[in-house]
Chains A and B, each alone.
Chain A
Amino acid sequence: MDSILLAHGSGGKLQSDLLEKVILKHIKNPIINLLEDSAYLSVNKSKIAFTTDSYVVNPLFFPGGNIGKLAVCGTVNDLLCIGAKPLYLSLGLIIEEGFDYERFEKIIASIASEAKNAGVKIVCGDTKVVEHGKGDGIYINTAGIGEIKHYFSPQKIETGDFIIVTGNIGDHGIALLSERQKLKFKTPIISDVANLTGISDILFKNSGIHCMRDPTRGGIGGILKEIALKSSIEIEINEKSIPINPGVSSICEILGIDPLYLANEGKFIIFSKEEKIVSTLKHTKLGKNAAVIGRVIKKDQKGKVILLTKVGGKRIIDIPRGELLPRIC
């Protein structure tokens, strides 16, 4: 009998199989079936977005942030990318017996400060403690509610749309990996974890945006393939245009990891009719490295994502498969 593997939670093919073959088999309705980052809800005359996410990051503290900051930013960004202004969050804590009180308070202080920064209120919560050895220090769940300002969706993507990334890719994945494996690099890599409310005004005012996503687990490669399949489009990406910190690029070379599949926690992928939004984003702190990385070429059922490589060749980008594992040589 098959059992759940770590790879079932990695945002790749196994996770989508788990969703389709088990979860959606039992739980289905027109809202969840869309599998958006946030659910789009109509309550009386109000349009609201509702989302939830659980945070089980290891290590709990990493260069650039901690699990608390991540738990606020991740949920806020999930609301933003459907086109909602984040308003309220819930906070669920599962703490392992024996967890250091001082570290716990640091995490909660981060949550408070990040919520303030994002302009959201934490309005309800729950705390549970599990036996020593039955948790990993602390797990956090946040759910969020936002007011829909613009409805962005993969269904709105059109042929010719520009594909934009709001900054360097892969920083979070490498920051965590190097902390977890105790890898020391001459140039330390800091996680990009950030809530993107700072650029939301620019994004919401731009009428050309059709779809936004935050490329967390599975990276930009995973998100692009997922959207291409969902919207039945063919995408062409230019490797040379993808912004990446040279330090991250070098580490990927050393470890044999494809940066396209590394997690990001403070970036959006945007499908937009116009490319001029990039120059506006470049004037902001969160979008200073924004770049057009590709176009939507045509409608195509196969959902092909083609990468024009740096040396002028072509290859496909597929859905990530399982955990990113270091190779032998």
Chain B
Amino acid sequence: MLNNNIDFKSKFADIKLIDSLINDLYRIAKQNYIIMEVCGTHTVAFLKLGLKSLLPKTIRVIAGPGCPVCVTPQKLIDYSISLADYAIIVSYGDIFRVPGSFSSLEKVKSKGKDIRIVYSITEALDIAIDNPKKMVIFLAVGFETTAPATANVLIRAKKLNVNNFFILPGHKLIPPAIEYLCSNGVNANGFMLPGHVSTIIGCSAYQSIVDKYKIPCVVTGFEAIDIVTSIYKLVEQINNKDARLDNTYSRGVKWYGNPVAKENIATVFRTADSEWRSIGCIPDSGLELNENFHKFDAMKKFDIKLSNITIENNCCRCGDILRGIIEPEQCANFGNKCTPEKPIGPCMVSSEGTCAAYFKYGKT
């Protein structure tokens, strides 16, 4: 049972404290700063709270590849659509509208295919148990935040010997993506690191990046105070040329993260090179199933043949946006040819996609 008696907001929306932090930022911001966040929830929180309108103009917060839906390759959507001919396809809500090469799960559902949206992968396993004569395939996307849930459910499915439940493996890992950006000359002076992902992997997962690339990093949460404090700490590090790993989300994130979740991930998955939509292949940035969990891999169970090759839209600049090279408004398609109703690129599809969030909240 979920506790909805907690007053989430008021403790972290102390306007006097935020005002004083913003004033301090105006005082110490002496140059131009580009801060990259790598978490869709940060993208939305930053814009939804209206923080963009409060910060000094010299501080730009840009969104990196932190929206899991945005970086899921088109091919995985195409596979799930082609599998809808044989199986119940289950997914998280964000990916429902993402366009594949020729259609989306939303559109094939409107033609009568059995596509279901769930809040948790545990519901997908329940669907399989309740429908023993049907195949059930879960589109397993997301970063280290959702990977432990997938691992837990597959461990349970194995124990229960469920034979009609499969996943399309699409999980990705954040630290390799940050390392890839750093090694390819990222257009940012510092990283605001994701709170949810870090509760699982812990701060320690980023230390080698800070040491190697001397780039300021702060792990942070999603309330106004968390975000403003992290920006303050990043500006301070940049000013002092003192790249460190700070944590302003210590109420959720520990140094080694969540050992049980990490162990479950290691039981079920191993790392593999992975394709990031609009970016390309990043070494060791994905999770594939270990051999003793292969029976749950839809890619191995079904002989998936796509009738057409994947067509990425050449004029889409999501790749540049995800690398922090341009902001959404600088893309010629933004807001005219590419809107949340008719997205061209993946960043416009998910509610946490950079372009969709800018379109929804960012036009004041």
Contacts and interface: CB of A to CB of B under 8 A. Distances in A.
Interface residues of A, number: 45
Interface in A126-169: none
Contacts of A5: 106-107, 110
Given A4-B110, A6-B110, A246-B7, A328 B49 contact: no
Interface string B17-43: 011000000000000000000001100
A303 to B, nearest CB: 12
Contacts of A253: 8-9
Contacts of A185: 1-4
A186 B1 CA distance: 6
A186 B54 contact: no
Nearest to A326: B93
Contact of B51 (A3, A313, A318): A313
Nearest to A302: B363
B247 interface: no
A7 B50 contact: no
B364 A325 contact: no
A325 B94 contact: yes
A254 interface: yes
A315 B364 contact: yes
Given A326-B92, A328-B141, A311 B97 contact: no
Interface in B317-350: 340-341, 350
Nearest to B106: A5
Contacts of A322: 97, 340-341
Contact of A327 (B13, B47, B94, B364): B94
Contacts of A246: 4-5, 7
B2 A306 contact: no
B2 A183 contact: yes
A184 interface: yes
Nearest to A253: B8
A308 B54 CA distance: 11
Nearest to B228: A311
A14 interface: yes
Contacts of B3: 185-186, 250
B4 A311 contact: no
Nearest to A310: B13
B156 to A, nearest CB: 19
B47 A315 contact: yes
Interface string A189-222: 1000000000000000000000000000000000
A321 interface: yes
A32 to B, nearest CB: 24
A301 interface: no
Contact of A309 (B19, B50, B93, B145): B50
Contacts of A7: 106
B52 interface: yes
A255 interface: yes
Contacts of B111: 3
Contacts of A181: 119
Most chain B Cβ neighbours within 10 Å, of A13, A184, A186, A248: A186
B54 A311 contact: yes
Nearest to A306: B364
Nearest to A184: B1
Contacts of B146: 328-329
A329 B341 contact: no
B96 A325 contact: yes
Nearest to A313: B50
A92 interface: no
B117 interface: yes
B190 interface: no
Nearest to A247: B4
Given A5-B110, A314-B50, A249 B8 contact: yes
A256 B50 contact: no
A223 B106 CA distance: 25
Contacts of A256: 41, 44, 351-352
Contacts of A249: 8-9
A217 B41 CA distance: 25
A307 interface: yes
Given A246-B4, A321-B341, 15 more contacts: A4-B110, A14-B341, A183-B119, A184-B2, A246-B5, A250-B4, A256-B44, A309-B50, A310-B9, A314-B50, A315-B50, A316-B360, A326-B117, A327-B351, A328-B92
8 residue pairs, one from A and one from B, having the closest CB atoms:
A313-B50, A325-B93, A309-B50, A250-B4, A311-B224, A326-B93, A329-B145, A321-B340
12 contacts: A3-B111, A5-B107, A13-B341, A184-B1, A186-B5, A246-B4, A246-B5, A315-B53, A315-B364, A318-B361, A318-B363, A326-B119
Interface of A: 3-7, 13-14, 17, 181, 183-187, 189, 246-251, 253-256, 258, 306-316, 318, 321-322, 325-329
